[in-house]
Structure 1
Amino acid sequence: MISLIFLLSGLNKLTAPIMTIGYIESVGLPFPTLAYGTAVIVEVIGGAALVLGYQTRLVAAVLTAFSRATAVSFHNDLADLNQFVHFFKNVAMAGGLLHVIAFGGGKFSIDGWRR
């Protein structure tokens, strides 16, 4: 389930690139177009790979770093309740991904079938 959050978020970014790039720019990140492309690639490919259970530990590590980076970069105004919720959502997702790093994708994953 956690993988679908990334996959759907990445696909959503594809439907509104100008708005997403504007949002990235508004928080002051350098190279917003590059950041947009990177986010889409990480979320779509990472989300799909995790759904399928392909390279689960590696993908989960990348998504953990991505979740932590987005929490700090985009949801750092903890006085704003909306940002507070999104910050801790990202932290919780990173925690769930640590579980995937520790235990892998399981027997029904592509990784499990290849063993």
Structure 2
Amino acid sequence: MSTIAKPDIAAANPASTSMQDVLALLARLLLALLFVLAGINKIGAMEGTVGYIGSVGLPFPELMYFGTIALEIGGGLLLAIGFRARHVALAMGTFTVLTAVIFHNDFSQQIEITMFLKNLAIAGGMFAIAAFGAGRYSLDRG
């Protein structure tokens, strides 16, 4: 049985793949920046953040607080450098959807609708990285 050879897109249009790699890097850095800064900001706001987590009925709000900081800062840094980017992006995208559903579900408030949709858009970016990889300018190299 013969196989059909797939065209080498990189050889056919190296400028296109180079631009894609630059855009993948930019996407990772912008998404990572959001999470790293959010995690750093939570470090100085333990009481308020733990209270907010507890106010929605989640168990172990202190544990959730530390886990969130670890995910936001650690995951953000891993995403920025492109290490295990597909797995990290999948985890962070899932976290972001859950955050939208749990914390931004009061659709009688316009700001909550905006925050909900913002989280879904961020998750969409994460899922795109999970689907297509981190690009050439990453530790994953693809």
TM-score category (smaller protein) = over 0.9
CA–CA distance in structure 1, aligned partners of residues 64 and 105 of structure 2: 18
Give the structure 2 partner of residue 3 of structure 1. 32
Q: What amino acid sits opposite 1:30 in the alignment? A: P
Alpha-carbon shift at residue 90 of structure 1 (Å) = 0.6
The CA distance in 1 between the partners of 2:114 and 2:57, in whole Å, is 21
Could you tell me how far apart the structure 2 residues matched to 1:104 and 1:32 are?
33
**Structure 2 unaligned spans of 5+:** 1-29
Distance 2:36 2:107 in 1: 26
The one-letter code of the counterpart of 1:108 is Y
Say what the alpha-carbon RMSD is for the aligned residues.
1.0
Alignment correspondent of 1:69? 98
CA radius of gyration, larger in: 2
Shift of 1:78: 1.2
- The amino acid across from 1:78 in the alignment is F
Select 1:12's aligned residue among 41, 44, 50. 41
Whole-angstrom distance in 2 between the partners of 1:30 and 1:77: 20
Residue identity matched to 1:74: F
Post-superposition Cα deviations, 1:87-115, rounded to whole Å, max 9, x if no partner, equal 11110011111110111111111111xx7
* Sequence identity (%): 43
Deviation, structure 1 residue 66:
0.3
Which of the pair is proportionally richer in helix?
1
Structure 2 residue 44 is matched with structure 1 residue 43: no
* Number of matched pairs: 113
Distance in 2 between the 1:85 and 1:22 partners? 22
Q: Give 3-state SS (helix, strand or coil) of 2:140's partner.
A: helix
AA aligned opposite 2:112: Q
Q: Which stretches of structure 1, 4 residues or more, deviate above 4 A after TM superposition?
A: none
